[in-house]
Chain A
Amino acid sequence: MNMILPASVSATPNGTTSMPNGTTRPQVRIVIVGHVDHGKSTLVGRLLHETGSLPEGKLEMLKAVSARRGMPFEWSFLLDALQTERDQGITIDTTQIRFRTRSRDVVLIDAPGHAEFLRNMITGASQADGAVLIIDALEGVRDQTRRHGYLLHLLGIKQVAVVVNKMDRVDFGADRFKEISDEIWAHLIGLGVTPSAIIPISARDGDGVAEHTPRIGWYQGPTVVEALDTLEPARPLEQLALRLPVQAIYKFDDRRIVAGRIESGHLAAGDEIVIMPAGKIAKIKTVESWPVTPLKGSHGAGRSVGITLDRELFIERGDVIAHAGATPRDTRRIRARIFWLHDKPLSKGDQILIRLGTRETRASVVAIEKAVDPGELSNEETKAIARNHVGEIDISLAQPIAADPYQENPRTGRLVIEVNGRIAGGGLVLSVDAGQRAVPIDIVPVESALRPEERSARYHHNGAVIWLTGLPGSGKSTLARALERRLFSRGGSPILLDGDTLRAGLNNDLGFSPQDRSENIRRLAEVATHLARNGHVAIVAAVSPAIADRAAARRIADTMFREVHVAAPAEVCESRDPKGHYAKARSGALPSFTGITNDYQPPTACELRIDTSVRSVADATEEIERMLGETGILFDELVDLAANI
């Protein structure tokens, strides 16, 4: 049962795979793809034999097993290790085998050719640096040949060698070979993939695998082993702009470490960075590691790193760190070329989950174009993309993400689609529509002449956004006004931002649709944050019914955000009805009024919750003040400011 080959092929005595000049011996991962029964597993078995990679006695053991089962010996038995595969004679899942050629360590990935197992082919092929596409000389180019060719293009695999197998079945005829090689050449070129070689072989007999034999004397090109020897390992994308998708923020000790893998480019301590999609700016303070920390120097693509920043920003998993002036786009609209693996076709209007880098977001399919079965190359569809088909789609995202077109960055230019918690497809980002918070390249914000400490020394408080959320009539405006008076009388600089007041001016282009409400909140948060950055306490009184909108506001105001849930039972709010809205709404004159439609989403986590049906205004104001003191906004004169800097 144990099919394994010497596990050691990637090592030499000095511990790594060194070449004479001291650099690392290249390891290439090669996937063998093609139509079912065109001889993939046989080629792999033959390659292992020809390169002397088989364990001792394995060949004899397999021959014995074949004889015992009354079957002729098959090279593919080497790979078809699972019982089910032996019974059916097809490769179900990807197998990986290692061997060595003259200048390469090769990891061979044998992917199933059966259409039913395309997801496994993709799983295997996505790990490869290069591919061998195998075609049966008798059968020629088949649907799965074309499909696999197309998928190699979608998976971004550029190095492809083609082998025309079973030449023994066509009497090693050069004409037949030319016919097939012309057809596949044209197909691959059409996809933008240039084959590095097209090789006539008989995997069963060995012709063209490692040796030129007289039977293919008319062929002058490389053998399979020679072609493998020219494949290059995929290089980390060090030449491209920095992209560091954030995996997590760790606070295991007093460090706040932003962890992730550099997908492209370089970074070093001291670099000015932009956190996308929000566009916040910071500097890398240190590059952390273990057991030695901090690390010096530049760190390039492929490294898993942890960095600390020079300021406390709200940053979360899914954000992408880039250098100023070379950021990815932030977008809520993406056009992608995808392959689809789910049983249920992907249709216009479908709700899906998108994963791009470490970001996940809900999304909906706005349009489907050019859906096609890459095996048939005809019958273009525009309503849905069926299983194992490909197509181009327009996607609208529930939240902004940072992305690049794949031509600019293959790592941040590809996405997967999840349905019911399972990966259902994936593809390349063709284009992105830049969002409202566009790349801060051309805008140069002018900084205030005053330092924050100067302002806080005068006001005895730091800048803050106090966000009062609650049902209409819950007492937000009353509390906001009381708080404003209170802070002002202790020498502070509070500014009231009432939702309705802003709607009269700045936001008078907005209605009450969910999109408009979100935009209303975004503008409130931006204005409030600007005030807070300049040392003021912005007191926002806004119903802001959606949790997502308030989370967006928190992202904008970041560490300055203090959310206060002004809670009162709905009946109490309606009985107060200070603006007469409830009465109007009950009469039908005020559609989509939050108070009676039950669409208010109370906070699950906020800095403070005050029930105004049981508290006096003075009491409630004092409690907000206390919270502000405890969370570092208000302080007494005696505090040594320098200690906080």
Chain B
Amino acid sequence: MHLLNPETSGHRLQSAPLHEASSVPKIFPGSRLPPPSMDHLDELEAQSIYILREAFARLKKLALLWSLGKDSNVMIWLARKAFFGRVPFPALHVDTGKKFPEMYAFRDRFGKEWDLDLKVEPCPPIDAVDPTLPPAARSAARKTEGLKWALNKYGFDGLIAGIRRDEEATRAKERVFSPRGLEGGWDVRDQPPEFWDQFNASVPQGAHLRVHPILHWTEADIWAYTKRENIPIIPLYLSKEGKRYRSLGDADITFPVASTASSIDEILTELDGTKVPERAGRALDHETEDAFERLRVAGYL
């Protein structure tokens, strides 16, 4: 995927006289600075822990959305690190009832092993959902409704969600602390400024905040960290008969991609070369140009 030829571009740079008004330093790859004391994963982890602690300090009633997938498992791991072993708020699974059996087995086992305060909330029937949405998006929108029910039931003012900027273009525009309207909606046109790790944590009465502690991670980061920390995963992510799931959603609207990667190392090698988007197997992203954005504006993750 590199268009630049290392030899030629290096040669050109070192031999080219610079523009008179510039002072671009010359490049000596890999030898300019002492090695940093933190590697890339350390930095990601420290930032996520900071965000989780800010959320816990500034919001009254938090829950962590546990979708059972690789991202939310990393997130739970990070929360255990942030709070020294035990997650001090509930893990909420908004259950469509259509997940893979492997996912339910995973939930039942690790909900106990990780000592989570697990809350499982059902979703409403499909008839209760906006009929103008395309079929897969409509099915996914059930989850948004289920989330609203859970919010009403428990009165959470903060939901910690494991979305990432690199997953999908609208998610790239998210804030770390993302305010939602009274109906749970996301007003992308009027997002408050957020900088220097100072977060907008004021929640109007009846509304809630989404907190995104792994927004800055990539799919490869998630796998590299999962491997380093030895975090358990659902086996569906690994190749079986030439196929594996890159992303896990409802069983009826999520499809495997062709892959021979049967270990995390092989997944990382595969990701290094692929140009197929992560959510390629998620039908709801591809129905119309804006289906996913419409879902998110309405409060989907």
Contacts and interface: CB of A to CB of B under 8 A. Distances in A.
A24 B35 contact: yes
B257 interface: no
Contacts of B273: 8
A267 to B, nearest CB: 13
B21 A247 contact: no
A535 B168 CA distance: 64
Contacts of A236: 36-38
Contacts of B198: 355, 416, 423, 426
Contact of A1 (B3, B31, B223, B288): B288
B268 interface: yes
Interface string B23-38: 1110101110101111
Interface string B15-26: 011110111110
B152 interface: no
A90 to B, nearest CB: 12
A15 interface: yes
A126 interface: yes
Interface in B216-256: 218-221, 223-224, 227-228
A38 interface: no
B18 A303 contact: no
A96 B227 contact: no
Contacts of B41: 15-16
B272 interface: yes
Contacts of B2: 51-52, 100, 102
Interface stretch (B43-51, B61-69, B140-148): B43-51
B23 A423 contact: no
A446 to B, nearest CB: 38
Interface in A409-423: 414, 416, 418, 420-423
Contacts of A6: 1, 271, 274-277
B84 A196 contact: no
Given A7-B278, A426-B198, A82 B218 contact: no
Question: Most A CB atoms within 10 A — which of B13, B88, B288?
Answer: B13
Given A11-B268, A13-B268, A100-B2, A414 B82 contact: no
Contacts of B50: 247, 261, 304
B46 A92 contact: no
B200 interface: yes
Scoring B10, B16, B168, B218 by chain A CB atoms within 10 A of each residue's CB, the highest score goes to B218
Pick from B23, B30, B81, B175 the residue with the most CB of A within 10 Å: B30
Interface string A313-356: 00001000000000000000000000001000000000000010
B38 A300 contact: yes
A628 interface: no
Interface stretch (B91-99, B100-108, B119-127, B188-196): B188-196
Contact of A10 (B10, B83, B218): B218
B286 A421 contact: no
Contact of B165 (A96, A120, A210, A421): A96
A151 to B, nearest CB: 10
Contact of B271 (A8, A25, A355): A8
Q: Which of B21, B23, B189, B223 counts the most A-chain CB atoms under 10 A from its CB?
A: B21
Interface string A608-619: 000000000000
Given A93-B173, A155-B195, A210-B4, A24 B39 contact: yes
A199 B189 contact: no
A24 B36 contact: yes
Interface stretch (A222-230, A437-445, A487-495, A519-527): A222-230
A7 B220 contact: yes
A309 B231 CA distance: 31
A222 B220 contact: no
A236 B46 CA distance: 12
B57 A423 contact: no
A78 to B, nearest CB: 9
B224 A11 contact: yes
Nearest to B278: A7
A11 B37 CA distance: 19
B24 A221 contact: yes
Contact of B29 (A19, A100, A260, A261): A19
A448 interface: no
A96 B169 CA distance: 8
A82 B275 CA distance: 21
Contact of A103 (B29, B200, B271, B286): B29
A2 B169 contact: yes
State which size class the interface on A falls in. 35 or more
Contacts of A27: 40
A414 B24 contact: no
A302 B24 contact: no
Interface string A237-253: 01000000001101011
Contact of B9 (A225, A235, A416): A225
Contacts of B21: 181-182, 185, 195, 198
B84 A4 contact: no
Interface size class of B (residues with CB under 8 A): 35 or more
A261 B40 contact: no
Contacts of A54: 275
Given A15-B268, A257-B84, A51 B195 contact: no
Contacts of B219: 7-8
A534 interface: no
Contact of A197 (B18, B81, B286): B18
B75 to A, nearest CB: 15
Given A219-B19, A422-B200, A422-B202, A15 B170 contact: no
Contact of B57 (A222, A232, A317, A355): A317
B166 interface: yes
A119 B193 contact: yes
Contacts of B12: 212, 226
Interface string B284-295: 011011111100
B193 A252 contact: no
A93 B191 contact: yes
A20 interface: yes
B218 A15 contact: no
Contact of B293 (A15, A83, A426): A83
Interface string A196-226: 1111000000000010100000011110011
A116 B194 CA distance: 16
Nearest to B229: A291
Contacts of A293: 84
A306 interface: yes
B37 A81 contact: no
Contacts of B38: 236, 300, 302-303
Interface string A26-60: 01000000000000000000000011111110000
B9 A102 contact: yes
Contacts of B265: 13-15
B278 A53 contact: no
A3 B45 CA distance: 26
Contact of B189 (A8, A84, A232, A248): A84
Given A81-B172, A222-B16, 15 more contacts: A11-B220, A15-B41, A19-B30, A21-B31, A52-B1, A95-B172, A196-B25, A197-B19, A221-B19, A253-B84, A302-B46, A304-B47, A304-B53, A341-B193, A416-B196
17 contacts: A3-B168, A7-B277, A10-B218, A13-B269, A16-B41, A23-B30, A51-B4, A52-B3, A95-B173, A103-B29, A197-B19, A198-B22, A226-B24, A250-B84, A252-B86, A416-B196, A426-B198
Closest 6 CB pairs of A and B: A421-B202, A221-B19, A11-B220, A8-B271, A126-B195, A81-B169
Interface of A: 1-17, 19-25, 27, 50-56, 65, 81-84, 92-98, 100-103, 119-120, 122-123, 126-127, 155, 161, 181-182, 185, 194-199, 210, 212, 219-222, 225-227, 229-230, 232, 235-236, 238, 247-248, 250, 252-253, 255, 257, 259-261, 288-291, 293, 300, 302-304, 306, 317, 341, 355, 358, 414, 416, 418, 420-423, 426
